[in-house]
Chain A
Amino acid sequence: MRDRTIRYYLDLISVLVAKELKVRYKNSYLGYFWSLLNPLAMALIFYFAFKVIMKVPIENYSFFLITGLFPWQWFSNSVGSSPGYLIGNASLIKKVNFPVYFIPLTNVLNDAVHFLLTIPVIIIFGLLFSKIPSLVWLLGIPLWFFAQFLLTYGSALLISSINLFFRDLERLVMVFLLILFYITPVFYDITLVPEKYRKFLYLNPVSGIIMGWRDLFMKGVFDFGLYFLYLSYSLILFVFCFYVFKRLSYKFAEVL
């Protein structure tokens, strides 16, 4: 019986993720490339604005940009669409008794798969700047992936559930993501930030994760101290968000 339940949950997740993957680009010609074009276009704009015009003192700036933008894209896509996760599945939640937290989970995993598919592009960019993937990646990619997954899934749980009660959140999330983008070292390096503001940037949980990815992809470095700090941070946030979601989940069918 227990075995069947676990098996069933795994099937449920895999089928829902497969559905999201199929549906997203079903009616478009470029399909998967859309998930690359968006961050690449952003990279191009930032390159032009900050390297060509403002001449930031960062080496290999285009490579620098995409190592930050690709992971950011995952976080931002998942969180940005999270207000709609539960509303979009209203008829299901109202009728079928199944673990509702699977809905945000499959959406976040779907964006995660897209992120993983962009790693080859990062490798190609790296090779252009004669950076060869290092063995540390084998350790670093799954570990940073896990930390970012916890943070992203937690945020998606929190926002998708609270949005059912305060629908304005949907608009606020957009503003919030925009602000967050600028206080995360995605297109600049943390060392360029004046000393007195730097500690506030470290408080932002996404900062550490983006810095972690960048160290890994650009320098082949995995910093255990940084990792465990931000892993714990993400874990605490995740536990809190999951708790809120569970507490509210009894009310979902009432308000949908």
Chain B
Amino acid sequence: MKEKVIIFERVVKSYPSYTHITGGIKNFLIHFNKSIKNFRKRHVVLKEISFEISQGECVGFIGRNGVGKSTLLGLIAGVLKPDSGRIFVKGKVSPLLELGAGFHPDLTGRENIILNGILLGMTKEEVFSKIDSIIEFSGIKDFIDQPIRTYSSGMVARLAFSVIAHLDPEILLIDEILAVGDIEFQKKSYNKILEFKQKGITMVLVSHDLENIKKLCDRAIWLEDGKIKKDGNPDEVVEEYRKSITKE
């Protein structure tokens, strides 16, 4: 039996309805009664979710938009706190950022690699020892000392993925960005993920690309209405999820 690295026990997560507050003080005062009511009314996203993920497993979460998949990743990463329940995570968590998040358009590719690497948990020394290999992996040769606002979005994505590829994380969180860059780079990043998998790195994926989930994951979890609808073999879970969507 492998060691459990992620344990969720009856985790509840809700969001406040901030619409009236972010609308500013004026709106807040005009709709004072409503606002106070809204303070209490919270929108529950996850309702007592429990699951365990073992060391080296690759788990894909599927479900409709807004069902709480990204919230789940936020909880694993520790940027969100649950309302109730217990979350146990063992090991260094590295999130795969959205395209170019944490990049600065006015800095060069090289400067951004350093910035991003450090934000994702490497020390300067570690980044400098890997920078050549990161640049090589990205395939951005001549442009590396140009500001990245001159890059195409595919190039930015390649750079972002290349930094992640050199992180050595213990738990990797991937939110919807497998399909980046051109076909050649997609293949390269796909192989990198397989390599991570072989190294025994635990991975949690959120994706609408069901084929990718089937290919990569050892296990799929289908979320619906804040609960786990089905948890198990990816082929079966994906097929059933597909059926439920086409039925409607």
Residues of A within 8 A of B (CB): 4, 7-8, 11-12, 14-16, 19, 22-23, 26-27, 91-98, 165-168, 250, 252-255
Within 8 A of A (CB), among B75-132: 77-81, 93, 95, 97-98, 101-102, 104, 106-107, 111, 114-115, 118-121, 123-124
Of A16, A23, A96, A165, the residue contacting B95 (CB under 8 A) is A96
Query: In angstroms, how far is the closest chain A Cβ from the Cβ of B44?
Result: 13
Q: Collect the chain A residues with CB atoms within 8 Å of residue B15's CB.
A: 254
Of B16, B21, B77, B106, the residue contacting A23 (CB under 8 A) is B106
A-B pair count, CB < 8 Å, reads 84
Q: Given A27-B106, A95-B97, A166-B21, is A15 in contact with B79 using a C-beta cutoff of 8 Å?
A: no
Q: Are B111 and A254 in contact, CB atoms less than 8 angstroms apart? A: no
Main secondary structure on chain A at its contact with chain B? helix
> Can you name the residue of chain A whose Cβ is closest to the Cβ of B94?
A96
Q: Is B198 an interface residue (CB 8 A)?
A: no
Contact mask for chain B residues 19-54; partner A; CB cutoff 8 A; 1 contact, 0 none: 001101110000000000000000000000000000
Q: Given A96-B97, A97-B79, is A22 in contact with B74 using a C-beta cutoff of 8 Å?
A: no
Q: Is B18 an interface residue (CB 8 A)?
A: yes
Complex CA distance for A8 and B101, rounded to whole angstroms:
20
Of B18, B77, B114, B147, the residue contacting A95 (CB under 8 A) is B77
Q: Given A26-B106, A168-B26, is A97 in contact with B78 using a C-beta cutoff of 8 Å?
A: yes
Query: In angstroms, how far is the closest chain B Cβ from the Cβ of A166?
Result: 6
Q: Collect the chain A residues with CB atoms within 8 Å of residue B78's CB.
A: 97
Complex CA distance for A4 and B80, rounded to whole angstroms:
25
Q: Are B121 and A23 in contact, CB atoms less than 8 angstroms apart? A: no
Of A23, A26, A95, the residue contacting B79 (CB under 8 A) is A95
Of A22, A93, A165, the residue contacting B111 (CB under 8 A) is A22
Query: In angstroms, how far is the closest chain B Cβ from the Cβ of A190?
Result: 34
Query: In angstroms, how far is the closest chain A Cβ from the Cβ of B227?
Result: 21
